[in-house]
């Protein structure tokens, strides 16, 4: 079966290059859960695939690598240390050094007690692992971003750690008897630039691979595999209709967030057919859509109500009411088969001070939400500076003020 259709893009890339490179750096969506068909080699029909959820990237990698013929897989992180799995049940972390005939006999000490949690000793162990000629082996090293506080300011001792990684890549053994497959190391990190640039730059033995959030095809597959898990109180599920909008409504969702939709549906007893309501509740924490609660009588008498508050701007009021009526009737988007993230309407009021621009905006907020405080007001004279956009949307991660958020984004979170 063609794996391009069933593997996520990053796993396709790993498969394509695993015989060509000796070190991989996976980054991006590394804390998600993942789906992988364990039985992809045993079936010829895509409908027979059984997708298994894996809680971590490292779990999926171990299953995948064993399916690719790797005989020994070792995992390391700075909390739990080194572990070893093998398709040969007699091989374990206690005898791995003798089984793989490590050249460096001191490697035994890397696996004793607390030492197996020390990064430098672990990398020395993995240098031996990829240099072995006994069994096709892979090492998975997690939380690589935590190896150093700042990749652009490392001392001599830390630099030696990364040089050791480069030497491990150079010493990796390829097995001609096993279709040219080679021993590999896989480092899992948050961002690729958490690794010093000189480790990757112009190095033909290493490759960075981004783990992206599930694309549209993968979200469709999730829906097909998991739609029966949503809450169903006996009402006939409308698979065709919900299936059309699900991939659009869940754009940029991770697999874990898709799973959370099932939990929300069951927890709140929201039927599968009300998928938009389920997703809105997950994204914004609200069930009620204020647009659906607008009193038709208020819209019918909108001009009269607005003209009581805003004087001398009849033309502007008529145009504003026209847009509100169109939005309320669902005519704000031409293609109603696809969910839209566009605003319900956009109005641009221009004119000198005192002509009623702000008053009309307050009146519209009162009309739609029964609360003129639902309007968010910004004095744009405060945003002349080129970097002042951070006041609205907040500072990016890693910059001062990131935790504080932005004036606009915070206001929208409070009142979605």
Tens-digit pLDDT profile for residues 164-179: 999 999 999 999 999 8
At residue 56, φ and ψ (nearest 5 deg) are -135, 160
pLDDT band of 285, cuts 50, 70, 90: confident
What is the per-residue pLDDT for 25? Answer: 97
Instruction: Give the separation between CA 319 and CA 59, rounded to whole angstroms.
Output: 58
If pLDDT is split at 50, 70 and 90, which confidence band does 235 have?
Answer: confident
What's the pLDDT score for residue 38? 87
Residue 341 confidence (pLDDT): 62
Contacts of 204 (CB under 8 A, 6+ apart): 21
Retrieve residue 226's tokens: 């998991």
Task: Give pLDDT, residue 397.
Answer: 66
Q: Is the pLDDT of residue 331 over 70?
A: no
Q: Which residue has the tokens 């001191």?
A: 106
pLDDT over threshold 90, residue 338: no
pLDDT of residue 333: 54
- Residue 83 pLDDT grade (very low, low, confident, very high; cuts 50, 70, 90): very high
Burial class (CB in 10 A: 0-12, 13-18, 19+), 89: exposed
Q: How far apart are the C-alpha atoms of 132 and 12, rounded to whole Å?
A: 26
- Is the distance from CB of 138 to CB of 70 less than 8 angstroms? yes
Three-class SS of residue 256? helix
- Using an 8 Å Cβ cutoff, are 78 and 142 in contact? no
Say how far apart CA 245 and CA 336 lie, in whole Å: 10
Mean pLDDT score of the chain: 87
Average pLDDT over residues 308-329: 87
- Give the tens place of pLDDT for each residue, 379-398: 888 888 877 888 888 877 66
pLDDT > 90: what percent of the chain? Answer: 53
pLDDT band at 275 (very low <50, low <70, confident <90, very high): very high
**Strands 51-54, 34-37: pairing kind:** antiparallel
């Amino acid at each position: 079966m063609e794996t391009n259709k069933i593997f996520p893009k990053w796993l396709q890339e790993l498969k394509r290059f695993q015989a060509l490179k000796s070190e991989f750096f996976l980054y991006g969506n590394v804390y998600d859960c993942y789906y992988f068909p364990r039985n992809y080699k045993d079936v010829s029909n895509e409908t027979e695939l059984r997708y298994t959820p894996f809680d971590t990237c490292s779990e999926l990698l171990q299953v995948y690598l064993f399916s690719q013929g790797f005989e020994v897989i070792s995992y390391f992180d700075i909390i739990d240390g080194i572990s070893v799995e093998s398709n040969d049940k007699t091989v374990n972390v206690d005898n791995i050094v003798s089984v793989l005939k490590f050249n460096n006999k001191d490697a035994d000490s890397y696996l004793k007690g607390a030492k197996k949690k020390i990064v430098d000793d672990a990398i020395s162990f993995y240098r031996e692992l990829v240099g072995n000629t006994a069994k096709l082996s892979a090492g998975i090293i997690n939380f690589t971003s935590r190896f150093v506080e700042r990749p652009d300011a490392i001392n001599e001792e830390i630099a030696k750690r990364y040089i050791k990684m480069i030497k491990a890549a150079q010493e990796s053994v390829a097995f001609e008897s096993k279709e040219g497959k080679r021993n590999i190391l896989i480092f899992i990190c948050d961002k690729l630039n958490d690794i010093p640039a000189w480790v990757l730059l112009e190095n033909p033995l290493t490759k960075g691979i981004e783990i992206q959030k599930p694309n549209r095809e993968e979200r469709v597959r999730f829906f097909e595999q998991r739609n029966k898990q949503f809450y169903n109180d006996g009402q006939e599920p409308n698979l065709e209709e919900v299936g059309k909008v699900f991939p659009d409504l869940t754009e940029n969702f991770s697999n874990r967030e898709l799973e959370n939709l099932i939990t929300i549906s069951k927890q709140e007893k929201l039927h599968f057919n009300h998928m938009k309501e389920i997703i809105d509740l997950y994204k914004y924490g609200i069930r009620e859509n204020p647009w659906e609660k607008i009193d038709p009588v208020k819209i019918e008498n909108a001009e009269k109500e607005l003209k009581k508050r805003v004087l001398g701007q009849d033309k502007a009021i008529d145009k504003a009411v026209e847009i509100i009526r169109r939005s309320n009737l669902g005519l704000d988007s031409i293609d109603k088969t696809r969910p839209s993230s566009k605003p319900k309407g956009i109005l641009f009021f221009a004119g000198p001070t005192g002509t009623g621009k702000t008053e009309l905006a307050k009146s519209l907020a009162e009309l739609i939400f029964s609360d003129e405080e639902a309007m968010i007001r910004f004095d744009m004279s405060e945003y002349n500076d080129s970097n002042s956009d951070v006041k609205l949307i907040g500072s990016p991660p890693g910059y001062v003020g990131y935790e504080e958020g932005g004036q606009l984004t915070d206001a929208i979170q409070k009142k979605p």
